[in-house]
């Protein structure tokens, strides 16, 4: 078995909250050494984003909550106060030996600390410097701070998410998880890896990478936004209805609900047979998928009545036999109890100082030759400060002095 793909890559991570930390975690999973810089005393803002928290051996809830735990494994935590000159000097010294530096401060903030790209490039020309922001490094909104929900609203995602117009509760709706942060984290990882490849394989140089939530959410709307670009019309909110094949959506059964997506005409005919209404497959209103899209309300209403006749398990079994894509609507308990999820090992256990077998979600990438197997728990605040600073000449006595001064 070979080394992990990014073994030998060193990353200085000044990001906080979610998008940047998720990207750095991805790179850490893949073998990079990630040095996470946190504020002395408080640490990453995400540590204070609310319960649940892990409880320390004394029974106290400290700053190790779920928000922080989901995005910070496989990192080293080093506390540095970058508002001080000594703290800034420490960051610049660490940056000299790093391949990548990541930050998600507001545009221009790090320039006053001499930690901006131009300053870091001057001491390490080959560095890949990735800035993750709400609105990017250019444009009229560049100075603004941005959080996931704001970008869901401004980027158009909420305008096409929610119940169908005319239904109770209709109107713009936010997607539950911080999905724009997650996608931005993935884009940041792609950008960093591309820049590293350009530098190392193509004889290129280091560069400044600009990734933002606003660009990401707009790009993620893909075929929905393309509809607008083609005909000038924003597609309507569809609730749980599908985006292509019809009929598609949530259907209520005698004991719960299921999700069905009929992707082509063959699947439609087989679904009609399973539902005991094969004549629907030859009904001229519903012959082709485009016909079913035009008559969407009619076919969805007919299917709704048919699904109400049997329980969820019955329909899932019969539709699976017929080769029609469908699935139960699982809560998290059902997700992590699902035999396929368990077979794929999506829940992993790590040894955390406060919990011997802490559950985390595994990295979703699977490699045949370089599998990701080494998962280290998200670090306690400042856990690696002494060891990391020792690599740049700070002995234990010096670190203790800096601690007393609030610098580390």
Cα–Cα distance for residue pair 172/168, rounded to 1 Å: 12
Mean pLDDT of 178-184: 98
Instruction: Provide the pairing of β-strand 347-352 with 326-328.
Output: unpaired
| Global pTM value | 0.94
Task: Identify the pLDDT of residue 245.
Answer: 87
> What is residue 31's three-state secondary structure?
coil
Cα–Cα distance for residue pair 35/27, rounded to 1 Å: 11
Question: In this model, does residue 336 exceed pLDDT 70?
Answer: yes
Task: Identify the pLDDT of residue 286.
Answer: 96
Domains of the chain and CATH, by start: 10-220+343-404 (3.40.50.10540), 248-328 (3.30.1540.10)
Task: Identify the pLDDT of residue 285.
Answer: 96
β partners of residue 78:
37
- Pairwise pLDDT comparison (351 vs 241), residue with the higher score: 351
Burial label for 188, CB within 10 Å (0-12, 13-18, 19+), is buried
User: How many helices, marked H, and strands, marked E, lie in the chain?
Assistant: 16, 13
Which of 29, 99, 148, 181 is flagged as catalytic? 181
Instruction: Provide the pairing of β-strand 53-55 with 61-65.
Output: antiparallel
Tokens 């610049």 correspond to what residue?
Answer: 92
Average pLDDT score, the chain: 96
Paired tokens of 81? 């106060």
Question: In this model, does residue 1 exceed pLDDT 60?
Answer: no
Torsion of CA 332, 335, 336, 338, to 10 degrees: 150
214-266 residue pLDDT tens:
999 999 999 999 999 999 998 889 888 887 889 999 999 999 999 999 999 99
Question: In this model, does residue 139 exceed pLDDT 60?
Answer: yes
Mean pLDDT of 376-383: 98
Tell which residue, 369, 323, 325, 330, has the closest CA to residue 346: 330
Tell which residue, 324, 318, 288, 285, has the closest CA to residue 302: 285
Task: Identify the pLDDT of residue 407.
Answer: 97
Active site residue 116: no
Residues of the chain with pLDDT > 90, as a percent, come to: 93
Question: In this model, does residue 42 exceed pLDDT 80?
Answer: yes
């Amino acid at each position: 078995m070979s080394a992990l793909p990014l073994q030998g890559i060193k990353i200085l991570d000044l990001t906080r909250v979610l998008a940047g930390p998720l990207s750095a975690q991805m790179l850490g999973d893949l073998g990079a050494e990630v040095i996470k810089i946190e504020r002395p005393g408080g640490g990453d803002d995400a540590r204070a984003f609310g319960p649940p928290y892990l409880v320390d051996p004394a029974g106290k809830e400290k700053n190790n909550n779920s928000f922080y735990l989901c995005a910070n494994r496989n990192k080293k935590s080093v506390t540095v106060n970058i508002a001080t000159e000594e703290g800034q000097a420490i960051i610049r010294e660490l940056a000299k030996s790093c391949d990548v530096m990541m930050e998600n401060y507001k545009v221009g903030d790090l320039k006053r600390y001499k930690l901006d790209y131009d300053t870091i490039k001057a001491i390490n020309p080959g560095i890949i410097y990735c800035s993750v922001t709400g609105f990017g490094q250019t444009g009229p909104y560049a100075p603004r701070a941005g959080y996931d929900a704001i970008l869901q609203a401004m980027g158009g995602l909420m305008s096409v998410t929610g119940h169908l117009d005319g239904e109770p509760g209709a109107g713009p709706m936010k997607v539950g998880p911080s999905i724009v942060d997650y996608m931005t984290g993935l884009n940041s990882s792609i950008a960093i890896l591309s820049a590293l490849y350009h530098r190392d394989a193509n004889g290129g140089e280091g560069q400044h990478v600009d990734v933002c939530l606003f660009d990401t959410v707009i790009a993620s709307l893909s075929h929905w936004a393309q509809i607008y670009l083609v005909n000038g019309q924003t597609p309507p909110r569809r609730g749980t209805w599908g985006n292509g094949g019809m009929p598609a959506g949530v259907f209520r059964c005698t004991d719960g609900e299921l999700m069905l997506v009929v992707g082509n005409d063959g699947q439609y005919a087989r679904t009609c047979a399973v539902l005991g209404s094969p004549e629907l497959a030859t009904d001229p209103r519903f012959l082709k998928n485009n016909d079913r899209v035009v008559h969407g309300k009619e076919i969805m209403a007919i299917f709704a009545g048919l699904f109400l006749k049997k329980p969820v398990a019955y329909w899932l079994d019969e539709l699976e036999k017929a080769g029609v894509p469908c699935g139960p609507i699982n809560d998290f308990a059902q997700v992590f109890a699902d035999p396929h999820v368990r077979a794929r090992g999506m829940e992993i256990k790590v040894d955390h100082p406060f919990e011997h077998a802490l559950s985390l979600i595994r990295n979703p990438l699977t490699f045949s030759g370089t599998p990701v197997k080494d998962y280290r728990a998200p670090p306690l605040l400042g856990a690696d400060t002494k060891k990391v600073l020792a690599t740049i000449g700070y002995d234990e006595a010096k670190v203790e002095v800096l601690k007393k001064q609030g610098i580390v």
